[in-house]
Structure 1
Amino acid sequence: MTHPGDGGSGKPWVRRTAHVLRPDPDRVLARLFLPGQEMVTSGESRSAAVIARVLALADDEVERELLDLTTDFGHRHHDLEATWDQHFGLVRHRLPHAERLPAHRRRLVGAYFTQEYAVESTALFNPSMVAHPDQDGLPSGSTRFVMTVRAVGEGHVSSLELRTGTVDAAGAIELDAPPAHARVPVVTEPRFARAAFEHQLDEDPDGDRANADFVLDALGLEFGRAELDLAYGELRSQRLTRGSALRTIERFERIARRSYEVTFPPDSALRERILMPQGATESHGVEDVRMVRFEASDGPPTYLGTYTAYDGRDIAMQLLSTHDFAHLTSRPLSGPGARNKGLALFPRQIGGRYVALSRADRETNAITTSDDLLWWGPPAVVQRPERAWELVQLGNCGPPVETERGWLVLTHGVGPMRTYSIGALLLDLDDPTQVVGRLEHPLLTGTGQERSGYVPNVVYSCGAMRHGRSLVVPYGSSDTATRFAIVDLDPLLDTLCRRAAAVTRQDHARVAGGAS
């Protein structure tokens, strides 16, 4: 059954476009390959045996292999030979006098320790969209955008991809050409936030807090690896009177591994860049980034993205931060408001505090606040499942969009047959715990081919972008592909406010009836 405004009923203010981003199995990364860790009968590892066999090849065969490899694989990668050289460097310790090997043999050894990984072989979905940091050179009324997309590859591992494009004055979307190569960043030494450690330690009641405080007292508000190691040294020097010193260091290291910084090569195009999982906490996935262009009161805008880190068993919330999508930092989030998935930041502070949408209880939409973006307080529920299409659970579909009539929140609801729909909610500008209005029927439900895919009957967004008097909504369909819809803002807001007025009239009528 279709409903007014659900995007499948021909409602003129909700329009799907013809754009579809599908997963491309030819988009590959060149990654390190280690041929097994088991031991063979000789007691040597398989890596050593493979190297010995490569070194036994005749010179003409080495040249022929390298030529064939370059022909078959070179066009699929940026500077594949440099990758082979890098991978040789990682195994050269297994070769005595490795520096004496000719360059072509070193490179071929590196090729045997390289594999292609199809980063989006399974899915490309759950996008969020923000205005690009560079808006120069555009026609009047046009907006250049950056879109984050969740890519799923071999082993169901999720990573973050970026795409770019423009929306013109008439609302027409133009996607930039698909990237020719996939580029990964260089991981650099992070600057740690003391507050992140304090918050994580507060949530671990079984640890020795006296030892933890001893380490924290030696650190500034921000610090690097050298300062942390120095604090460890002071703790170790007192290990005779601090029996759990090693356990304390282990706790700090677990927290430290959740913070990292990466920098993409300066010659990489933004849409080529891919953030693969970094560290144990997100070893199986960087999932569902909700990116927002955050307007600070005392500086330039910052792009902040909350996401779910998945290690194959447990989930944790992380916060990405960047000014240019070339250098990114990630830090752990904590607190009752940051539990479970789906934390989505408001694009500015309200009343001097950071504010976010939360789904900490797994089924309602709530508001949580923070002093430092890292610890999120107890959430206040603002929306519970009420309609047939959302009775299983509710959640948000990305950061709120500011309008003159309130904070516009796209929501998702799960109904019978695990069918996902996208709805909308309007919150008060000054007090977002107050609901102005909510849609009675979905804004978008899956139709036609959108219903078929890796997870059927799902439409889901991680963030829309306001463009003049319209809302550009990128959305994932059935956890497989990414599609787009344009929503006229004014009729959507009118519908939300009419619904709010109708509820108010009903409330007044009930009060009057009770008084009589």
Structure 2
Amino acid sequence: MACVSAHIDDNVLARRTTHRLMPDASRVISRLFVAGQEDYGASQSRAGLVIERVIGLSEEEVKASLDNVVSRFSHRHENLFEDLEAHAHRVAHRLQPDLTLSSERLRLIGALFTHEFSIEGAALTNPSIVPHPVQEGVEDGALRFIMSVRGVGEGHRSSIGFRTGIVNSSGDITIDEVGDFPVIGSHWESMLHQCNFRGLLEEMQDLGENGRYILEQLGESFSIEDLNRVLFQFLLDRDSFKNVDSTVHHFRMIAERNYVVTFSEQKDLSERILWPVSYAEWRGMEDARFVLFQHDDGTQQYLATYTAFDGMGVSQQLLSTDDFLSFETHPLAGMAARGKGMAFFPRKIGGVYAAMSRADHESNWISFSDRLDYWSALSAIQLPSRPWELIQLGNSGSPIETEAGWLVITHAVGPMRTYHLSAMLLDLNDPARVVGTLDRPLLSPREDERDGYVPNVVYSCGSLMHAGRLVLPYGIADQSIGIATVEMDNLLDELTSKK
């Protein structure tokens, strides 16, 4: 995409660029499909019947049908045969053990248990932005960046994707073209941590005799194999405990929310898709808020929170990566982690981690913790009071450190469920103290931004500062993405003018 100047809007603070990232319905991934297990209708699958029918075909019919699949789909998937064979093996246990299949028949079975999912079929929205880990080859004064995006497809199922680009010293922005073949990566089990289980079991009101007994059999960190061994013995001893099945279910639900996803270096970053793995997020991974975090030893790591949606309720997850090739995710626990929209500060403050929270679902709160995965202590710092924010407030990404204080881009919801973006400034050493807030929205839906998947919404999950400007990508009507820039001096002057 061509380089576009930022200075084309007459808004006093935020200047929109002409960038508009639109959802691309042709970006598809292959997923396992089992007839009868759709989101509605029959309670059991029809897999056995489907397999019986394909076994009954002649080899000529099999070859003709598979040829048709290849001609229609091979250009849409980088490794079509691998996908078909993988899905065939997922249902191979239903075949007679002494049955020998040709490779064509096996692949046709796979095709009958495969469907395409359009990861952006409904929307591409709610971005956050961080510096790219690789800056080699970038011209002086420019910055290569990574933008996380939320893709929404059939059934409102959300996943996390990425775009890359460059912003130069003049604020001109270039967005790179995307790769042709998105993939979802390989899923691995991760180590489990007792502190995380304690926090979530406490929320589930299951940190009584059962929960404590199981945790006492495990170390501070343990594997899924260790946990399964202890749970198996706990089930054998069920006559001396109460509500055993419920406790086992809770432990397994927590455990599956901990995992690792890895990608090949050969895949462009725009082709790497973080897809729901656990039941807690099976309906979607929403609104990732990425930040480049600096640890006490000077090392840097990318952290993010995202909302896990199971179709009825939400929870929050911690996502971490060093290189955008390997991602590790764990559940967040504690009062401050309830609901949606936590956002980490980019470093510790006073020796502890800090995060923005919306624990009451309508106000901006701040929380501090000794751990990244458990957040309990919190206090409210901004309550809805002005006409354009009377429904609720929240953060729109991680705070940005400036000499004047911590800049927090916020969102607010007012009449007709209209979303606006605004800003507040927090004290550098005591971020629970608000230095100033804007008395007006920084960005509101323009007339050409009102219509979409969710009308009257502008929303962001994170921005960055470069060359004296704030680069602010934002979702438009929960359907597409625009980019605005803000002169930092002007914004900070307005935020501090009433000190």
Deviation at 1:97, TM superposition (A): 4.8
Alignment of 1:76-155 (within 5 A): 76-97=76-97, 100-155=100-155
What is aligned with 1:248? 247
Is 1:188 equivalent to 2:188 in the alignment? yes
Describe how 1:443-458 pairs up with structure 2 within 5 A.
443-458=442-457
Instruction: Give how far 1:307 is off.
Output: 1.2
Letter in 2 for 1:182: P
Tell me the distance in 2 between the aligned counterparts of 1:458 and 1:208.
41
Q: Say whether the 8 Å CA contact 1:411–1:425 is kept in structure 2.
A: yes
Contact kept, 8 Å, 1:392 with 1:415, in 2: the verdict is: yes
Tell me the distance in 2 between the aligned counterparts of 1:441 and 1:247: 50
Q: Distance in 2 between matches of 1:167 and 1:464?
A: 13
CA distance in 2, matches of 1:438, 1:253: 44
Kept in 2, the 8 Å contact 1:27–1:118? The answer is: yes
Q: Name the aligned partner's letter for residue 398 of structure 2.
A: P
Alpha-carbon distance in 1 for matches of 2:184, 2:72: 21
Deviating more after overlay: 108-117 vs 424-433:
108-117
In the alignment, which residue of structure 1 is the partner of 2:160?
160
Q: For residues 345 and 394 of structure 1, what CA distance do their matches in structure 2 show?
A: 17
Query: Any residues of structure 2 matched to 1:479-498 within 5 Å, and which?
Result: 479-498=478-497
Q: Distance in 2 between matches of 1:307 and 1:432?
A: 23
| 1:67-95 per-position Cα deviation (integer Å, ceiling 9, x unaligned) | 33222111111201100111111122222
Q: SS of the residue aligned with 1:423? A: strand
**Per-residue deviation at 1:231?**
2.6
The amino acid of 1:289's aligned partner reads A
Q: Which residue of 2 aligns with 1:314?
A: 313
Letter in 1 for 2:81: E
Q: 1:155 to 1:244 in 2, by over 3 A?
A: closer
Q: Aligned partners of 2:414 and 2:37: how far apart in 1?
A: 47
Aligned length: 488
* CA deviation vs aligned residue, 1:386-411 (integer Å, no higher than 9, x gap): 22211221111111011111000001
Q: Distance in 2 between matches of 1:448 and 1:175?
A: 24
The code of the aligned residue for 2:406 comes to W
Tell me by how many angstroms 1:98 deviates: 6.5
**Distance change (3 Å), C-alpha of 1:165 and 1:88:** same
Q: Which residue of 2 aligns with 1:394?
A: 393
Distance across 1 between alignment mates of 2:236 and 2:54? 49
Contact conserved, 1:348 with 1:354, CA < 8 A, in 2? yes
Counterpart secondary structure, 1:219: coil
Structure with larger Rg: 1
Q: Which deviates the most, 400-409 or 159-168?
A: 159-168
Measure how far apart 1:37 and its partner are: 5.6
Residue deviations 1:165-222 (CA, integer Å, cap 9, x gap): 11122211111102211101111112111111011122233x3622322221222222
Counterpart Cα distance in 2 of 1:37 and 1:166: 44
Q: Tell me how far 1:123 sits from its aligned partner.
A: 0.6
Report if the CA contact (8 A) 1:92-1:98 is conserved: no
**Match of 1:445, SS?**
coil
The answer to whether the 8 A contact 2:427-2:435 is kept is yes
- Taking the aligned partners of 1:8 and 1:98, their CA distance within structure 2 comes to 70
Whether the aligned pair in 1 keeps the contact of 2:369 and 2:377 (CA below 8 Å) is no
Give the match's secondary structure for 1:444.
coil
Q: Aligned ranges for residues 406-417 of structure 1 at < 5 Å?
A: 406-417=405-416
Q: Which residue of 1 aligns with 2:224?
A: 225
Q: 1:10 to 1:69 in 2, by over 3 A?
A: same
| Structure 2 residue identity aligned to 1:214 | Y
Partner residue in 2 for 1:348: 347
Q: State the match for 2:57 in structure 1.
A: 57
- 1:180–1:208 CA distance, 2 compared to 1 (3 A): closer
Query: Residue 4 of structure 2 aligns with which residue?
Result: none
The runs of 5 or more residues in structure 2 that have no matched partner are: 1-6, 39-43
**Partner Cα separation in structure 1 for residue 18 and residue 178 of structure 2:** 16
Uncovered stretches (5+) of structure 1, i.e. residues with no partner = 1-6, 39-43, 502-516
Q: Look up the SS of the partner of 2:179 in the other structure.
A: coil
Determine the C-alpha separation between the residues in 2 that align with 1:186 and 1:142: 33
Deviation digits for residues 273-327 of structure 1 (CA, Å, limit 9, x no counterpart): 1112122111111111111111101252111111111111111111111111221
Distance in 1 between residues matched to 2:385 and 2:37, nearest whole Å: 54
Judged with a 3 Å threshold, the aligned counterparts in structure 2 of structure 1 residues 11 and 37 are, in CA distance, closer, same or farther, namely closer
**Cross-structure match for 1:303:** 302
Point out the more displaced range, 373-382 or 23-32: 373-382
**In 2 relative to 1, CA 23–325 (structure 1 residues): closer, same or farther, beyond 3 Å?**
same
Match of 2:3 in 1: none
Tell me the residue number matched to 2:204.
Answer: 204
Tell me, in whole angstroms, the C-alpha distance in 2 between the residues paired with 1:294 and 1:482.
25
Instruction: Give the SS at the match of 2:91.
Output: helix
SS in structure 2 opposite 1:70? helix
The superposition leaves residues 127-159 of structure 1 with CA deviations (integer Å, 9 ceiling, x where unpaired) of: 000111111221111111111111111011111
Structure 1's consecutive aligned runs of 4 or more residues displaced over 6 angstroms after TM superposition are: none
CA shift, 1:269, in A, is 1.5
Cα distance change of structure 1 residues 74 and 382 upon mapping to structure 2, 3 Å threshold? same
Separation in structure 2 between the aligned mates of residue 35 and residue 230 of structure 1, nearest angstrom: 34
CA distance in 2, matches of 1:304, 1:45: 39
Overall identity of the aligned pairs, in %: 45
Question: Aligned letter for 2:122?
Answer: T
The 10-residue stretch of structure 1 (297-306 or 402-411) with the greater mean CA deviation from structure 2? 297-306
Residue by residue, what CA displacement relative to the aligned partner does 1:37-62 show, whole Å, maximum 9, x if unpaired? 69xxxxx9732332233233333333
Distance 1:37 1:229, change over 3 A: closer
Q: Is the 8 A contact 1:214 1:235 kept in 2?
A: no
Relative to structure 1, the CA distance from residue 239 to residue 387 in structure 2 (aligned partners, 3 Å threshold; closer, same or farther) is closer
> Which stretch of the first structure deviates more once superposed, 59-68 or 108-117?
59-68
| Alignment-mate amino acid for residue 83 of structure 1 | D
1:504 is matched with: none
TM-score (norm 1): 0.90
How many Å separate the matches in 1 of 2:323 and 2:387? Answer: 42
Match of 2:327?
Answer: 328
Structure 2 match to 1:18: 18
Which residue identity is paired with 1:309? A
